[in-house]
Amino acid sequence: MTTAKPTETGERQLPSQEEIARWVEAGEDLPTLAALFDQLPLARYDILVAQIRKQELLPQHWQVISQRTIPDDVVFEELAEVRRLRSRYAEDGLAERRLGALEVGWQELAGKQPSLWTTPDLFAAMRRIIDRQRQVDLHDLLSAVRDVWRDQTLPRGREQLDMLWACLAFVRQKTKK
């Protein structure tokens, strides 16, 4: 995972609630978003998710996936949402970073198609990434998933964005600099 850049006082730079809102609504870039989860021990992540569930921001029946099978990478490249994201991101470097992060999440979710992910699925993938200490830029993962959901024409994508927004705003409230 990438490391949040500390400020001159040694504190992490965290996004404001307004920046998170613009990230969700307008699709703005927000590298400080990853600071909410950077260097977060698995136990602390689990506590945050438990608090999110207690606030009923995530469905109560959500459970972390216990087993996974790593799917073939060729399948990932053939997914419609991956092709759409490739054309969406004009800069090749940005496309590779975000799709690389999305692919890691896809692997952690046993090949579940990203357009079918829910916010709990995203949090489950992030938990596995933190647990396995995989080198993933969470800003790129969160942004790629946001863009997949924004591209959906059904209300489901909007519902997932709203749920993610509420969860990120809650995490921001609970995160100290």
Q: Could you report the per-residue pLDDT of 4-31, keeping only the tens digit for each?
A: 444 454 567 889 999 999 999 888 889 9
SS3 14: coil
Within 8 A by CB and 6+ apart from 128, the residues are: 64, 65, 68, 108, 134
Task: Kindly tell me if the per-residue pLDDT of 70 is higher than 50.
Answer: yes
Within 8 A by CB and 6+ apart from 80, the residues are: 115
**Per-residue confidence (pLDDT) for residue 121, from 0 to 100:** 92
Residue 164 covered by a domain: yes
Instruction: Give the pLDDT mean for 62-87.
Output: 80
Phi, psi of 6 (to 5 degrees): -75, 155
Residue 5 covered by a domain: no
| Rounded Cα distance, 39 and 130, in Å | 9
Residue 3 covered by a domain: no
Q: Is the distance from CB of 27 to CB of 150 less than 8 angstroms? A: yes
Instruction: Give residue 79's Cα distance to chain centre.
Output: 19
Residue 12 covered by a domain: no
**Per-residue confidence (pLDDT) for residue 53, from 0 to 100:** 83
SS3 77: helix
- Average model confidence (pLDDT) for the chain? 86
Residue 10 covered by a domain: no
Q: Which residue has 């590298």 as its token pair? A: 31
Sign of the CA dihedral 138, 156, 58, 23?
positive
Instruction: Give the pLDDT mean for 31-37.
Output: 89
Single pTM value for the model: 0.85
126: how many CB neighbours lie within 10 A of its CB?
22
Q: Give the tokens for residue 154.
A: 């059904």
Per-residue pLDDT reduced to its tens digit, 89-135: 988 899 999 999 999 999 998 888 999 999 999 999 999 999 999 99
**Per-residue confidence (pLDDT) for residue 68, from 0 to 100:** 60
Residue 2: band (very low, low, confident or very high) from pLDDT cuts 50, 70, 90: very low
Residue 6 covered by a domain: no
Structural domain including 67 reads: 17-174
| Count of domains for the chain | 1
